[in-house]
Chains A and B, each alone.
Chain A
Amino acid sequence: MDVSGRLACELDVSAGETVAVIGPNGAGKTTLVEAIAGTLIPAHDTSVRVGGDDWSARPPQLRHAGLVFQEHLLFPHLDARANVAFGPRARGLRRRDAAKEAVGWLERLGVGDLAGRRPGQLSGGQAQRVALARALATHPAVLLLDEPFSALDVSVAGELRDLLHLHLRDFPGATLLVTHDALDVRALADRVVVLEAGRVAQDDTPAAVAEAPATPHAARLLGLNVLAGTADGTDVRLDDGGVLVIAEAAHGRVLATFPPSAVTLTVDEPVGSARNRWRATVRRAVPREAVVRVHLHRTADTGAELYADVTRGAATELGLEAGRVVWASVKATEVTAFGAATRDAR
């Protein structure tokens, strides 16, 4: 599709497939969703084909796309049941059948007991479940999820992610998931499309993108540490100050990446083989499944962020709380440097 000045991309999604769309703000993620849903204003020259149908000239109501937005956008004057029944009703089902269908979907999404509540009486997670039920109840050919969890608490988002995973397995249509969260990508996506400045920078499996991300944003999003700088041999002069030592010599602009698990945190300055070490201040420590992800600021610099994964035991032992100053070290052999394709390394 081609949306003048904003987005130029070609994308094929198979039935049953879930494609995560990632990219920085302004990369065209939402434009892509709107172009497929037909809600782009003003309408542009886009070509959308779904199955054997050409949707390009159709208004949104004649396409068959289910939308879930970041803000649930439930109808505030209707209760949950009527919200979910809205789609089936609009597509010609009789009132009673639509209501029955709606209750079924609410139950499948674990909010059957809230059918009589209005959106104002629902929590964020409950409302998003209802919104998901509303989108699925129309049996869409394409499901478009535009950052569906980003307004929710971490734990609520996790529950909903598991639930969505369950439903996407049985969902026969194509799913496009716009997200800013690596967990969404890992848990839900069969494929990742990396958008950058309105173009597809990468289109691959989550594992492949995580291994060799084409853009700094993708690298960061998938949880890697990314440092931009200019390489001269095995030394990389970092943009935000300092030198990073890499194992394999390189020249010119590079993005140096290393996984959070490669970062060692110590209280005292480490003496050992690690060539790269920084004094860093802990900003937050976020427990994930088995590890604690520590967000750090390299003290010498301004705002440069570093992620380190440590075990829960280590986190407790080191007293990793916000404000704590520690030493972070990385072996040069853990660092991968590759040519920076884009002008902007941020």
Chain B
Amino acid sequence: MSDAGPRLGRPPARLVVGGTVAAVFLVLPPIALVVSAPWDRWWSIVTTPEAREALWLSAWTSTIAAGLCLVLGLPLAWLLARVTFPGRRWLRALVTVPLVLPPVVAGVALLSAFGRHGLVGAPLRELFGTQIPYTTTAVILAHTFVAMPFFVISLEGALRSTSARLEVAAASLGADRWTTFRRVTVPLAMPGLVAGLVLAWARSLGEFGATITFAGNYPGTTRTMPLDVYAALQADRDTAVALSVVLLAVCVLVLVALRERWWGVR
């Protein structure tokens, strides 16, 4: 593919202007964030016990959420892509709802399901005395709830684009569906799977609304990085900026990890 494309003359000015404004608008705030960071105090801010605790909590809850996406979302994506069952199209639509749901609403919805008086939460509390809201478990649930749709949709696309005819070939060679899934389907969908996993992890790392609604903002148990940034903003703006830079750096790393997929670098 050629970068230049055919010679069709100058690009129209109004498109160039609009595009430039959009680009500046998107690039400027992150740059401003980096520029205005208190670099002289940066290291001491991000290494305070509280910040380290939040960073660590974010890292491991996001990783568990990504793991749950893999263990549960992969079968769901496979079902959606490969098995015909009644209501499949509805299920696919419903699964994507958390993708567009305002995160706060997602948090309220999680409370309605798993809260003290929730649909599942109330019987859980009566039978086992377990309480989910305002615990680290709630953080993981909130993360998984918002991240899983990213994973499932991205993976379903990858599964659909791999040839079902190869699975027919595998079956004709005597492989049952599980063997075919393990040895053909998953390896072929691997790039999409990895991208989906990274995407899900990044999405749960940045999760704020659902977490603060469903899990609260308790240092040590539910205060993740984004919540810590929010809390810091109330008290000391410099701390908030310094912590934000950390999250920004992680996001850039994710982009680099996904560059093959999004930037078309081969």
Contacts and interface: CB of A to CB of B under 8 A. Distances in A.
Nearest to A92: B174
Contact of A59 (B171, B184, B190): B171
A61 B166 contact: no
A69 to B, nearest CB: 8
B187 interface: yes
A73 B166 contact: yes
A69 B165 CA distance: 10
B259 to A, nearest CB: 21
A225 interface: no
Nearest to A64: B174
A53 B206 CA distance: 59
A87 B173 contact: yes
Given A77-B187, A77-B188, A86 B173 contact: yes
B173 A39 contact: no
Interface in B160-178: 163, 165-166, 168-177
B169 A67 contact: yes
B183 A86 contact: yes
A87 B173 CA distance: 5
B172 A60 contact: yes
A74 to B, nearest CB: 8
Contacts of B130: none
Interface residues of A, number: 25
B174 A73 contact: no
A59 B169 CA distance: 13
A69 B172 CA distance: 12
A57 to B, nearest CB: 15
Among B168, B172, B176, the most chain A Cβ lie within 10 Å of the Cβ of B172
Contacts of B190: 77
Nearest to A140: B172
Contacts of B171: 38-39, 59-61
B175 A90 contact: yes
A244 interface: no
From B163, B165, B173, residue with most partner A Cβ within 10 Å: B173
A91 to B, nearest CB: 4
B166 A66 contact: no
Nearest to B164: A41
Describe B's contact surface by its main secondary structure: helix
B188 A87 contact: no
Contacts of B47: none
B179 interface: yes
A86 B168 contact: no
Contacts, number: 60
B188 A76 contact: yes
A98 to B, nearest CB: 11
Q: Which of A37, A60, A62, A135 is the most central at the interface, judged by chain B CB atoms within 10 Å of its CB?
A: A60
Contacts of B177: 61
B166 A90 contact: no
A66 B169 CA distance: 9
B174 A61 contact: yes
Contacts of B184: 75
Nearest to A85: B173
B176 A61 contact: yes
Nearest to A67: B172
Contacts of A65: 172
Contacts of B188: 75-77
A277 interface: no
A134 interface: yes
Interface in A38-81: 38-39, 59-67, 69, 71, 73, 75-77
A63 B177 CA distance: 14
A62 B175 CA distance: 9
Interface string A245-261: 00000000000000000
Contacts of A18: none
Contact of B175 (A39, A63, A73, A86): A86
Contacts of A64: 174
Contacts of B169: 67, 69, 73, 75
A138 interface: yes
Contact of B172 (A37, A71, A75, A76): A37
Contact of A61 (B163, B175, B187): B175
Contacts of A135: 172
Contact of A91 (B166, B174, B183): B174
A218 B97 CA distance: 56
7 contacts: A39-B171, A61-B173, A75-B188, A87-B173, A90-B170, A90-B175, A90-B179
**The 7 residue pairs across chains A and B that have the minimum distance between CB atoms:** A87-B173, A90-B175, A60-B171, A90-B174, A67-B172, A91-B174, A73-B169
Interface of B: 163, 165-166, 168-177, 179, 183-184, 187-188, 190
Given A37-B172, A39-B168, A71-B165, 12 more contacts: A37-B168, A38-B171, A67-B168, A69-B165, A69-B169, A75-B166, A86-B175, A86-B183, A90-B174, A90-B175, A135-B172, A138-B174
